[in-house]
Amino acid sequence: MKIHNVAQGTPEWHALRANYHTASEAPAMMGDSKQMKRTELLHAKRTGLDRDISWWVQKYLFDKGHDSEARARPILEARIGEDLFPVVGTEGDLLASLDGCTMLGEILFEHKMWNEQLAADVRAGNLDAHYYWQLEQQLLVSGAEKVIFVCSDGTEENFVSMEYFPVPGRAEKLVA
């Protein structure tokens, strides 16, 4: 994995993402996204035009999600006994913006905002394709052994996690 010295959300990060197939786009690419159809992704890639983000979505989803992620990181670090560092990396034409990665790169951290259905799925150890394609690409790009997938609001009370390991055949299907 080639590590890029860019922070998520910056203009430099957006410029870098424009040149790669990103992990957050993987569910749409595979036809399994809950937010974007595959045709919308192909149109955005072809034209270079991204969907406009409203102030409300930015403030109440993205900003709130980043805040929850920042507060959840130390909770997970305490549980695993290792520090986690945000990383943006590429491998070939694939890019992954990792919410966290251990120093040796063996464990990744992926955070999603708390919601009851996702929390129940995590407790059951059963992720929808809308989530696992992103994790598969993160593992492929980073070479990590596993992702600790967290659903939280940044508090101990609303914090559930599960370990996700690559599923044989998924990475090949994703690349194809």
CB 148 within 8 A of CB 161: yes
Render pLDDT for 88-116 as a digit per residue (tens, 0 to 9): 999 999 999 999 999 999 999 999 999 99
- pTM of the complete model beyond 0.85: yes
Q: Are strands 87-91 and 2-4 parallel, antiparallel or unpaired?
A: antiparallel
Which of 129, 121, 166, 159 has the alpha carbon at shortest distance from 33? 129
Render pLDDT for 131-158 as a digit per residue (tens, 0 to 9): 999 999 999 999 999 999 999 999 999 9
Report the first-to-last Cα separation within the chain, whole angstroms.
19
Pull the structure tokens for residue 165: 């390991």
Beta-strand runs (E) in 33-156: 87-91, 94-98, 100-101, 107-113, 146-152
Render pLDDT for 73-86 as a digit per residue (tens, 0 to 9): 999 999 999 999 99
